[in-house]
Structure 1
Amino acid sequence: MSTTAEASVHNPRYREVRKVTVVGTVVDFVLGVAKIVIGWIAHSEALVADGVHSLSDLATDFVVLYAARHSHMDADEDHPYGHGRIETLATVGLGIMLILVSFGIAWDAVSRIGVPDLLFTPGALALVVAFLSVLSKEALYQYTVNVARRLKSNMLMANAWHHRSDAISSIVVFIGVAGAMMGYHYLDAVAAVVVAVMIAKIGLDLVLSSTRELIDTALEPELVEAISDVITHVNGVRALHMLRTRRSGGRALVDLHLQVDPRISVSEGHQIGDTVRRKLLEKFDEVTDVTVHIDPEDDETESPCDHLPLREELVERLRTQWSEMASIDSEDITLHYLSGKLQVDVALPFSVLDQYDDPVQLVQQIERSAKTIPEIEHVQVCFRA
């Protein structure tokens, strides 16, 4: 077993998913077999269809277990954002499986409705099994959906609704069997069709919701607003733009651009970004990854400084302008890229003043010569120890 796979096995979230799914697997197996056997003995097509539905739950339980194990593996070199999309793909698979099962059930039931001789009259035992199925599957739904909400797992929520669909379909079966026993023989087949339509609707909803996640649809508007509110209340954040969110399995990923004071140090800007990241991870359980980009100005619609030269080229041009003046090192120069122009701060050592009788004239010469470079808008000279 790989290290990442071992880590997923010991992941608390995975253990909870596995526990609730194993319980569902046992219940689905017992109910599925019981419905099919009793349905066959008691001549209830609706109950047999419901049994197939329960066994489809059993199949999806195995898919959930597999996906949960692998989706909780740690991020690696090939999957730097983790393996959460395995859970999303599994949810799509569950939805497609439900749709296919529903078509099979509906096809068989409709073909029988058209031929009265093929319709059955169920026995009382089918009624009892249908009633027990309603109780057990509703209890299983409540158990699974509570865990799904706590873990914020769409895959578990999908499986919970799989259980709920079985409970609802068992109610329909109960009505259909009771009607057939009272002489309305077609009601059993009609109940099977209704069950199939319900299953198909749930399957389609699951496919659509998970497909939205696969194409990186943003988080819910109210959640995005809450995330934005936390960010903008961090000290040092001047503005927020380009906030982007998406889901990956039960996790939420966030990346954003923060506008801070352009005159602060790189380390202070980094500290502000780290604070934003920490607060989001603490405030929102589903947020597991935050990428922060620090900006000195709003670059959402355009990047006005794209045409400006980088330090190496600019310093070389400045040295050419200052060649007949004080010797200025690259470390003495601080560059500010703002509003499509350069602002240059020059910090000269006091020792330079020993070479000049008039320091004011020196400052003026430095500023004037630097401004001959078109990209430079402002130059500020100061002296340091």
Structure 2
Amino acid sequence: MLRLVTVTESEKIDEADFRYQQIKKVTVVGAVVNLFLAFMKIILGYVGQSQVLIADGVHSLADLASDLVVIVAAKHGSAKADDDHPYGHGRIETVVEVMLGGFLVAVATGIMVDAVSRLVGPPIETVPTWIALVAAFLSIAANEGLFHYTIYVSKKANSQLLKANAWHHRTDAISSVIAVIGIAGAMAGFPMLDSIAAIGVSLFIAKIGWDISWRSLRELIDTALDPEKVEQIRQTILTVDGVKAVHSLRTRSMGAYALVDVHILVSDSRISVSEGHQISESVMRLLLKEIDEVSDVTVHIDPEDDEVKGTCSHLPLRGEVIQVLDKAFAANKFYPQIKNVTLHYLDGKIHIDLLLPLGLISENTSAQQIKESFNHRFDETQNIAEINILFT
């Protein structure tokens, strides 16, 4: 059964606007929380005599800049396609993901450098108070809450950019864990614990940053979707009536969306152009409906498997073929009565259907006689495999 689904351009635009609103909402919440945490940690770090808490507060201030970048990227990345960007602006989000990943690596490097300098430097004289410890615990709770909230919305909005920012919140929570270890260790007489823990966690943060940047860089060089998603696309296409096989299936990401190019082999190699077009439209609409990520589909119809069969690229087009027929059947009295000429390019040869009026058949002229009048041995270079005579 042929499956037809209508997916309008306005629906895609509404979806993009929904994504932007979701990203904007969660990022604004994150920015407000980061602003509160920054001032709380800086002030209480000063009051509680904790250098690590003050540094963590400065880290939260830096997060405000990344939140602003996320909002700007989401706004421009969700803009609809235009003449200069026919596939949309999704790659803006991808570029920012690379930047966020790089920022995490930079943060990790800073934490490690600071930790090493404190390990090899003179011992810290001041001892933090319990106020600094409470502030660090509050920071952990707030950032972990932001992580789970942002991850939830990133899945809902299908946003890798938001997912990257969620992991940014998780690293902020880990940064505060470092502060807790450092403060508690200093209060217990073991200030070295802060630096040792910081080095280990900085490696973890750097790994997250690298993974985010690497995934986004792979998207920028048009890496295919994961094998499971590609197979899902393939199986979805095969459910469309008239599709016999699928090959040359290519996919790539564009921000939150996926672009698909595919060759489909139709069940009947001699179907009309309009039927082939209808099959391709059905494939496109079904993918847009069934696969959430897919936003653009290009379908190439193949009458035969061009990866196996002989190529037809060397064969002449209609005008040249008609000239050959005109010359071959110039003396055939039935030839001027032809109502339609259909050309089939199959297996490296041309197969021709000639449509004649049924009225040509009479008591004195049989259909077989008419067909035999079109028997002609064409030159091998003319690449005509057969001529079929049909009546209407």
TM-score (norm 2): 0.89
RMSD: 2.4
- State which of 288, 291, 297 in structure 1 corresponds to 2:298: 291
* Stretch moving more, 118-127 or 255-264: 118-127
- State which of 132, 150, 155 in structure 1 corresponds to 2:161: 155
1:371/1:378 contact within 8 Å kept: no
Cα distance change of structure 1 residues 334 and 328 upon mapping to structure 2, 3 Å threshold:
farther
| Number of residues of Structure 1 aligned to a counterpart in Structure 2 | 378
In the aligned structure 2, how far is the partner of 1:240 from the partner of 1:282? 19
* Stretch moving more, 76-85 or 302-311: 302-311
1:315/1:330 contact within 8 Å kept: no
Q: Which amino acid aligns with 1:270?
A: H
- 1:361: Cα distance to partner? 3.7
- 1:77: Cα distance to partner? 0.7
Other structure's SS at 1:309 match: coil
Question: What does residue 346 of structure 1 align with?
Answer: 354
Cα distance change of structure 1 residues 198 and 32 upon mapping to structure 2, 3 Å threshold:
farther
- 1:352: Cα distance to partner? 5.0
Spell out, residue by residue over 1:274-307, the C-alpha distance to the aligned partner (whole angstroms, 9 max, x if none): 1121211111222111111111011246761111
In the aligned structure 2, how far is the partner of 1:123 from the partner of 1:301? 76
- 1:347: Cα distance to partner? 0.6
In the aligned structure 2, how far is the partner of 1:240 from the partner of 1:9? 29
Question: What does residue 20 of structure 1 align with?
Answer: 26
Cα distance change of structure 1 residues 349 and 319 upon mapping to structure 2, 3 Å threshold:
same
- 1:163: Cα distance to partner? 0.6
- 1:148: Cα distance to partner? 0.4
* Stretch moving more, 53-62 or 67-76: 53-62
- 1:181: Cα distance to partner? 0.8
Question: What does residue 335 of structure 1 align with?
Answer: 343
Other structure's SS at 1:255 match: strand
Q: What percentage of residue pairs aligned between the two structures are identical? A: 49
2:284/2:298 contact within 8 Å kept: yes
- 1:220: Cα distance to partner? 1.7
- 1:186: Cα distance to partner? 2.0
Q: Which amino acid aligns with 1:277?
A: M
- 1:70: Cα distance to partner? 0.2
Cα distance change of structure 1 residues 337 and 95 upon mapping to structure 2, 3 Å threshold:
same
Alignment of 1:40-189 (within 5 A): 40-118=46-124, 120-189=126-195
1:50/1:169 contact within 8 Å kept: yes
Other structure's SS at 1:116 match: coil
In the aligned structure 2, how far is the partner of 1:233 from the partner of 1:43? 67
- 1:168: Cα distance to partner? 2.2
Question: Is 1:226 aligned to residue 229 of structure 2?
Answer: no
Q: Which amino acid aligns with 2:284?
A: R
Structure number with higher relative contact order (C-alpha < 8 Å, ≥ 6 residues apart): 2
Cα distance change of structure 1 residues 295 and 119 upon mapping to structure 2, 3 Å threshold:
farther
Cα distance change of structure 1 residues 193 and 64 upon mapping to structure 2, 3 Å threshold:
same
2:338/2:354 contact within 8 Å kept: no
Other structure's SS at 1:11 match: helix
In the aligned structure 2, how far is the partner of 1:26 from the partner of 1:298? 58
Question: What does residue 37 of structure 1 align with?
Answer: 43
Unaligned runs of 5+ in 2: 1-12
- 1:54: Cα distance to partner? 2.0
- State which of 279, 283, 297 in structure 2 corresponds to 1:276: 283
Cα distance change of structure 1 residues 294 and 116 upon mapping to structure 2, 3 Å threshold:
same
Question: What does residue 10 of structure 2 align with?
Answer: none
Cα distance change of structure 1 residues 10 and 366 upon mapping to structure 2, 3 Å threshold:
closer
Other structure's SS at 2:151 match: helix
2:338/2:356 contact within 8 Å kept: no
Q: Which amino acid aligns with 1:366?
A: F
Unaligned runs of 5+ in 1: 1-6
In the aligned structure 2, how far is the partner of 1:9 from the partner of 1:360? 62
1:45/1:189 contact within 8 Å kept: no
Q: Which amino acid aligns with 2:234?
A: S
Spell out, residue by residue over 1:7-34, the C-alpha distance to the aligned partner (whole angstroms, 9 max, x if none): 7998121111100110001011111232
Cα distance change of structure 1 residues 329 and 182 upon mapping to structure 2, 3 Å threshold:
farther
In the aligned structure 1, how far is the partner of 2:370 from the partner of 2:109? 87
In the aligned structure 1, how far is the partner of 2:338 from the partner of 2:221? 47
In the aligned structure 2, how far is the partner of 1:231 from the partner of 1:9? 23
